[in-house]
Structure formats: C-alpha cells, structure tokens
Amino acid sequence: MKPSSPGTEPPPSTQFRKVSRRRFAPSFIALASLQLLGCVMLARADYGVESRRPLSDPMKATIENRAVGTWRATLDGKQYYLHAGTGNIVGKSDWMELVLVHPGEKPSFYVHHKIGFVSAIGGQGYFNVANLSVQITQLRGSKPEELAADVERYDILRYEVNGDTMNIWAADQKVVKAAIVAGKIKGTGATIDDSMENLIRFIESSPPDLWGNKFTYTRVK
C-alpha cells in the first residue's frame, strides 16, 4: 500500500485481526489502514475497492503467515514501515492487525492502525481492510461476530508475497465508479453495495486497470 501524506487518511495492506464490536475506530488504513498496514497507507486516490461486504466470510478468516512481520517501502526518497501481525487487539480471532508508520519529526511522523483479514479468489490474494464504527482500542476481547458487526466498510486490496517481497495493489476508484454507473455492480459513488457473490464476480471479471497502483515492500529482518 502507498503511504499517505501527513494530514490525509491513508488506506491499505498487511496483517489483520478480528476485534470486538464493543471497541473499534473507523478504519486499510489506520496503521492497518495500511490502510495499515503499519506503514503503508494510501492516499485517497490509492484506496482499495470500497465495499460494504468483504470477499469472504469474516467468521472463517485465516492468518496469512507469509505476510506476518515488518515491511519497508521507499517512496519519493522517504521510508515507510508496515507491520502485519496477529496482534493483541483481535485476540484469538484470525483477523490481522496492520500498522503503518512514517518515522520522522512532526508533522511528518504518523502511525495508522487497522485490522482486517485475507481472502483467496481464483488463486489471488486480497486484503479486506476494515473501516470501523468504533475505535480500535475498544475491540479488545471482542468475539469475531462482534468485530464483524462494527465494520462499516471494507477496502479491498490485491497482494502477492514472494519470499521477502510483498506487492500491494490499490484500486482505481474511477474504474469502480464507472462499473457502478454502468450497472455492472450495485453501489453509490465509488462504494460497492452488492452481494458477496456479485462482488467476487466483479473482481474476477474486471480489467487489469482496476488495480492501477502497485507498491512494493521489502521484509525487514
């Protein structure tokens, strides 16, 4: 995911975890806003596919062990760190926590914290980064169903992990909006509001330019 500039809300990429409904702040990226992705948040134009529903059942989430760890990306000469892990917030659920960090002095320094989970569609991996209706600190000890109930929207990002390299693709919002206007998928503006089945069909059938922005992270050892 792409780091956001100070003062903007970064959106998404690496580990997610389930958190309770009792506590969770709006989200792909807070640090998990990689959308946390810990260190890799996106500028507004680099969000994932915005959807009211995820690509798979959040109650059946599994940890993406290949993505767990700390990652670094260099953009415009500046370094950003993304931490993806199982974390302490989501407890025993298989959602992941994403934390995006841009080190440095204020106002350039910022940290974003997000949670989410991964889906595999047709052999391709995707992050479902949660945008929550409560603060993330309120989610400690929450049950998976409580966590899912606090999600207002998901930002879906495509990803691939190859050894110590992780590539994350943000979506082109113009492509999503055009599909909604054309009636290919239900939604409002650039936010999809359709069934999970239709969302999967849309993702699978969309042209390559849906994923227009690629960001590369290297594992920190």
Q: What is the CA radius of gyration of the chain?
A: 15
Report whether the peptide linkage leading into residue 107 is cis, meaning its omega lies within 30 degrees of zero. Answer: yes
Model confidence, pTM: 0.77
| Domain parsing of the chain, residue ranges | 44-219
What span, in angstroms and rounded, lies between the C-alpha atoms of 197 and 137? 32
Which range in 15-29, 30-44, 204-218 is most confidently predicted, on average pLDDT?
204-218
What is the pLDDT, as a whole number, of residue 90?
Answer: 60
Over the stretch 76-133, which tens digit does the pLDDT of each residue have?
888 889 999 876 566 567 888 888 888 766 655 667 888 899 999 999 999 999 999 8
What span, in angstroms and rounded, lies between the C-alpha atoms of 141 and 127? 22
